[in-house]
Chain A
Amino acid sequence: MEFLAQLVNGLSLGSIYALIALGYTMVYGICKMLNFAHGDVIMVGAYTLSIAMSTLHFPPYLAIPVSMLVCAVLGVTIERIAYKPLRQASPLAVLITAIGVSYFLQSLALLIFGSTQRKVESAINVGLIHIGDFAISGNAVVTLLLTIVLMVGLTWFINHTMTGKAMLAVSEDKGAAQLMGVNVNKTIAVTFLSGSALAAVAGVLYIASYGYVGPYTGSMPGIKAFVAAVLGGIGSVPGAMLGGILLGIIESLSKAYISTQLADAIVFGVLIVVLLVKPTGLLGKKVTEKV
């Protein structure tokens, strides 16, 4: 029973990672860049939620969309200001810029909210769910269900709408997509918009399990989600889902059965082993250079 409970925990943690990993993977697929600031968007989402609920007294069904909206706007703004001028630049310049944006968001939050963590009322409150004598956390179940719904929705969006197909086209070949009349700028903006909105949801769910937010809240989940995206094969949407869930389960089980402190090391170790066996991740496409 204990094992089952840990598994549910892992699934719910993993689905949060998966939601964040989606943002990394979508942006990577289209711009071939590692958006290190993505983790900090979660933090912004969590702060927004906190202000909306405790200061403005919005009900959750209003506070969550507000938080998604703020993050979506933030994501698009970051892309416009910091990344768009660097489309032709070296990947390293873009990476450093993304790290700069990450530091910027963190220090801005530090200036506005101070360094102490802020308690946030959860937007999702579901009590324990009893199945026979077995009780599992309701929040975990909601998290898992919500993630599945969002994933299915996103997959449908990418495969069945014009904008989604434009995203696929741009990720395949930016130049060719442009020649076929795809508005590349708009498509990239949509990618950042949807990725950031998903990060906001991840922020809401993260808060529902941890209850606190600080300026560096987004940092570690951000890195873990990044690892999840790479584990699943960066650029692949199902890969992000798979990687996130796997990572969550590995982390929960290591914490429960091996060592709380070493859980992170185990997670990173698994990543290295997987990449050594499959250099482009579990579901990543193998790229061969044409000679």
Chain B
Amino acid sequence: MKQLLSKKNLFLLAVIAVIYAVLFALDAQGFFSRQAKALLVPIGINIILAVSLSLIVGFLGELSLGHAGFMSVGAYTGCMLTVNLDLPMYIELPLAMLMGGIVAAIFGVIIGIPALRLRGDYLAIVTLAFGEIIRSIFNNLSVVGGSGGLNGIPKYSNYTIVYIMLVITIIVITNLVNSRHGRAICSIRDNKIAAESMGIPVVYYKLLAFVVAAFFAGIAGVLYGHNLGILKPSTFDFNKSIEILVMVVMGGMGSIPGSVIAALLITVLPEILRGLQDYRMLIYAVVLIVMMLLNNNAKFNSFKQRVFSKKAKKQGADLAKEGE
């Protein structure tokens, strides 16, 4: 208990509460335009998606192009539940999220199994194929509305619920990453053969990463469905998976705060550029390319390091001292 109430944790708790209260107060004062208000929930959902995918891509080091597939499985499971059940919201929604998460997690195992045999680009294409298969199945499943979509989903998602879920997601994944289990996952990323010879059960930890990531993607899907009130298979296409991947990569691999910020920016950016209409996508594409080129430009990186990274400088100085 003492450790849980450390200064750092109390400070984090305060930050979480303050962000929530400030946004809530601003909203109550009518500060947000209707558009901005409508963005709060999608931002939260995208943060959950990005943080969960970063577990696979950033920490396990495997490329997944099928995250939207997990999201859709969760979304359809949860929404079918609330559409067909007739319970009060405060029972129905948590149940839907739990079920959506669990079913998505089961799919996480299914797609995690090829991950045990395949590496890198081959796994990427399998996850892509998995996403497309799920989508075409939903497209042809009349029980869930087929390509016309699933209608009449109660619009339960609101700012508070999404905020709570996103805080839970961040805490769980951050804690996982900073535990012995997280270290095992990272060791597989850095060197699989060394991890095996350290006795790390690689199979278990690969599956674990996929399962946890899929679970939260499923929850994000449930929230998504209950935000729009309708689910269409076409939402969960390859481009959605890519969008989530872009958030993770732009946020800096293996950085959870980075994923959060990138998810925020990438959700807001298109809305800011709304006035530019057709140019929106073009600008997005250019930003994407330029960001990647800059990130891998030696000159730009050394510039960035000079400006930002005092820590790196200190490490360098220590090393230099060592050498003397």
Question: Which residue numbers of A lie inside 8 Å of B, CB to CB?
Answer: 28, 34, 82, 85-86, 88-97, 99-101, 103-104, 106-108, 110-111, 223, 226-227, 230, 234, 259, 261-262, 264-265, 268-269, 271-272, 275-276, 279-281, 289, 291
Closest beta carbon of chain B to A142's beta carbon, Å = 30
- Is B137 in contact with A265, judged by CB distance below 8 angstroms? yes
Please, could you name 17 A-B residue pairs with CB atoms under 8 Å apart, sorted by A?
A85-B296, A93-B292, A94-B292, A96-B249, A99-B246, A100-B288, A107-B279, A107-B285, A223-B132, A227-B129, A264-B132, A268-B129, A271-B125, A272-B126, A275-B118, A279-B122, A291-B193
- Is B125 in contact with A107, judged by CB distance below 8 angstroms? no
- Is A104 in contact with B282, judged by CB distance below 8 angstroms? yes
- Is B284 in contact with A103, judged by CB distance below 8 angstroms? yes
Partner of B289, one of A88, A100, A230: A100
* Residues on A with beta carbons closer than 8 Å to the beta carbon of B284: 103, 107
Instruction: Knowing A92-B249, A279-B122 are in contact, say whether A223-B128 is a contact too (CB < 8 A).
Output: yes
Q: What are the 9 A-B residue pairs with the smallest beta carbon separation, nearest first?
A: A100-B288, A268-B129, A104-B285, A107-B281, A103-B285, A89-B296, A100-B289, A265-B136, A107-B282
- Is B281 in contact with A85, judged by CB distance below 8 angstroms? no
Question: Which residue numbers of B lie inside 8 Å of A, CB to CB?
Answer: 57, 63, 114, 117-122, 124-126, 128-130, 132-133, 136-137, 139-140, 193, 238, 242, 245-246, 249, 253, 278-279, 281-282, 284-286, 288-289, 292-293, 295-297
- Is B124 in contact with A34, judged by CB distance below 8 angstroms? yes
- Is A103 in contact with B288, judged by CB distance below 8 angstroms? yes
- Is A261 in contact with B136, judged by CB distance below 8 angstroms? yes
- Is A230 in contact with B293, judged by CB distance below 8 angstroms? no
Partner of B117, one of A99, A264, A279: A279
- Is B279 in contact with A86, judged by CB distance below 8 angstroms? no
A184 vs B57: C-alpha distance in the bound complex, in angstroms? 31
* Residues on A with beta carbons closer than 8 Å to the beta carbon of B246: 96, 99
- Is A82 in contact with B136, judged by CB distance below 8 angstroms? no
Partner of B288, one of A96, A261, A268, A280: A96
* Residues on B with beta carbons closer than 8 Å to the beta carbon of A107: 278-279, 281-282, 284-285
Partner of A268, one of B121, B132, B253: B132
Please name the residue on chain A nearest to B279 by beta carbon. Answer: A111
Known A103-B281, A223-B238; 15 more pairs at CB < 8 Å: A28-B121, A82-B289, A90-B253, A97-B289, A99-B288, A100-B289, A103-B288, A104-B286, A262-B137, A262-B140, A268-B129, A272-B129, A275-B114, A275-B125, A279-B118
A233 vs B279: C-alpha distance in the bound complex, in angstroms? 38
* Residues on B with beta carbons closer than 8 Å to the beta carbon of A276: 114, 117
* Residues on A with beta carbons closer than 8 Å to the beta carbon of B136: 261-262, 264-265
* Residues on A with beta carbons closer than 8 Å to the beta carbon of B292: 86, 89, 93-94, 96-97, 100
A291 vs B193: C-alpha distance in the bound complex, in angstroms? 8
A34 vs B120: C-alpha distance in the bound complex, in angstroms? 11
A93 vs B245: C-alpha distance in the bound complex, in angstroms? 11
Please name the residue on chain A nearest to B282 by beta carbon. Answer: A107
Instruction: Knowing A85-B297, A259-B140 are in contact, say whether A275-B120 is a contact too (CB < 8 A).
Output: no
Closest beta carbon of chain B to A278's beta carbon, Å = 10
* Residues on B with beta carbons closer than 8 Å to the beta carbon of A275: 114, 117-118, 122, 125-126
A279 vs B119: C-alpha distance in the bound complex, in angstroms? 8
Instruction: Knowing A111-B278, A259-B140, A275-B114 are in contact, say whether A100-B285 is a contact too (CB < 8 A).
Output: yes
Please name the residue on chain B nearest to A115 by beta carbon. Answer: B278
- Is B249 in contact with A93, judged by CB distance below 8 angstroms? yes
Closest beta carbon of chain B to A126's beta carbon, Å = 33
A108 vs B288: C-alpha distance in the bound complex, in angstroms? 15
- Is B288 in contact with A265, judged by CB distance below 8 angstroms? no
A230 vs B123: C-alpha distance in the bound complex, in angstroms? 10
A106 vs B281: C-alpha distance in the bound complex, in angstroms? 9
A95 vs B132: C-alpha distance in the bound complex, in angstroms? 19
* Residues on A with beta carbons closer than 8 Å to the beta carbon of B245: 96
* Residues on B with beta carbons closer than 8 Å to the beta carbon of A90: 253
Instruction: Knowing A103-B288, A104-B282, A261-B140 are in contact, say whether A86-B293 is a contact too (CB < 8 A).
Output: yes
- Is B295 in contact with A93, judged by CB distance below 8 angstroms? yes
A223 vs B295: C-alpha distance in the bound complex, in angstroms? 27
Instruction: Knowing A104-B289, A111-B278 are in contact, say whether A92-B253 is a contact too (CB < 8 A).
Output: yes
A275 vs B115: C-alpha distance in the bound complex, in angstroms? 11
- Is A88 in contact with B296, judged by CB distance below 8 angstroms? yes
A175 vs B89: C-alpha distance in the bound complex, in angstroms? 62
* Residues on A with beta carbons closer than 8 Å to the beta carbon of B286: 100, 104
* Residues on B with beta carbons closer than 8 Å to the beta carbon of A281: 122
A280 vs B119: C-alpha distance in the bound complex, in angstroms? 9
Residue among B119, B124, B136, B278 facing the most chain A CB atoms (10 A cut-off): B136
- Is A34 in contact with B121, judged by CB distance below 8 angstroms? yes
A232 vs B113: C-alpha distance in the bound complex, in angstroms? 21
* Residues on A with beta carbons closer than 8 Å to the beta carbon of B132: 223, 264-265, 268
Please name the residue on chain B nearest to A223 by beta carbon. Answer: B238
Closest beta carbon of chain B to A228's beta carbon, Å = 11
- Is A110 in contact with B281, judged by CB distance below 8 angstroms? yes
A271 vs B282: C-alpha distance in the bound complex, in angstroms? 32
* Residues on B with beta carbons closer than 8 Å to the beta carbon of A226: 125
A8 vs B297: C-alpha distance in the bound complex, in angstroms? 50
Partner of B122, one of A88, A230, A261, A268: A230
Please name the residue on chain A nearest to B288 by beta carbon. Answer: A100
Closest beta carbon of chain A to B67's beta carbon, Å = 14
* Residues on B with beta carbons closer than 8 Å to the beta carbon of A104: 282, 285-286, 289
Please name the residue on chain A nearest to B197 by beta carbon. Answer: A291
